[in-house]
Amino acid sequence: MATETHKGTVWITGASSGIGRALALRLARDGWKVAASARSAGELDALAAEAPGHVIAFPLDVTDMKRTREVHADIEERLGPLDMAVLAAGTYTRDGAFDFSATNAQKMISVNLQGACNTLEPVLETMMRRRRGKIAITASVAGYNGLPGGATYGATKAALNNLCEAMKPEAERHNVSLSIINPGFVETPLTAKNDFPMPFIISSNEAADHIARGLEADRYEIIFPWKMKLAIKFLHALPATIRFAITRRLVRE
C-alpha cells in the first residue's frame, strides 16, 4: 500500500466493519499508523492483511472498562504515543414505544455511550497530560431529533454530542482537539438491517472520505452528507408541534 510521509498514530475502535473499517484503510493510505480495535479478531486480521504494516489489530470489547485501558496501554507501548483516536464502536437495534426493552436499551447504552466513555478516559487522560492530540467521537444525525424506531440509539448519540461539546473548551486548554462525527445513513452491516427507505444513503468509503477531510481540516462537527445535514438541522429548528406532525408520519405498528 503506497502511503505519504508518516502522519502519526491513530487508534480506531469499531474498526472491523462499516465506517470504522473504511476509515482505517483510508487513514492508512494517507500515511497514518492505524491501531484497529473491535470484538472480532478474525475480521481485524483480515483488515490488517489489506494494509500490512500500516494497520495493526488490537482486539477489544469496549464495554470492558479494564480491558480497554489495558489495550490503550499496549498500543502506546508498541506503537508510541497516540496522536489521534477515533471512537467509532457502535450498535443499533430498532426500538420505540411499541417494543421498548430495557435489556436491549442497556446493550446499546453499554456499547454506544459507556463504550465511548471507557475509551475516552485513558485517551483523554494521556493526551491532556502531554498537551497534544486529537479525539473524534462518532455519533449520528439521529442525535438531533427523536425519531420513531430509534429511541435508545438516538438517545445515546445525543448524549455523545452533548459530552463532546461540554468537554471541548476544557480539552482545548491543554491543546487537545475534540471533534464529533455525525453521519447520516451509511451502507454498513447495521443499516443493512433496516427495512425502510434511507434518504441520501452513501457508501462506507464515501463516509470515510468525509471524515478524513474533516479531521484534516480540524472541524469540530463532521456531518454528512450535506442533504441530510440540511434536512436534519431544519427539522431540529422547527417548533415541537410541527416536528411531531412530521415524525408521526414515520410511526409503524
Strand pairing of 32-37 and 8-13?
Answer: parallel
Q: Which residues are marked as active site?
A: 153
Q: Which residue type occupies 134?
A: K
CA proximity to 174, closest of 120, 137, 119, 125: 125
Say how many C-beta atoms besides its own lie within 10 A of residue 144's C-beta: 20
The gap between the terminal CA atoms of the chain, to the nearest Å, is 49
* CB neighbour burial string for 69-92, b if at least 16 within 10 angstroms, e if fewer: bebbeebbeebeebbbbbbbbbbb
C-beta of residue 164 within 8 angstroms of C-beta of residue 155: no
Half-sphere exposure of 244 (CA within 13 A, CB side): 3
Residue with C-alpha cell 445525543?
158
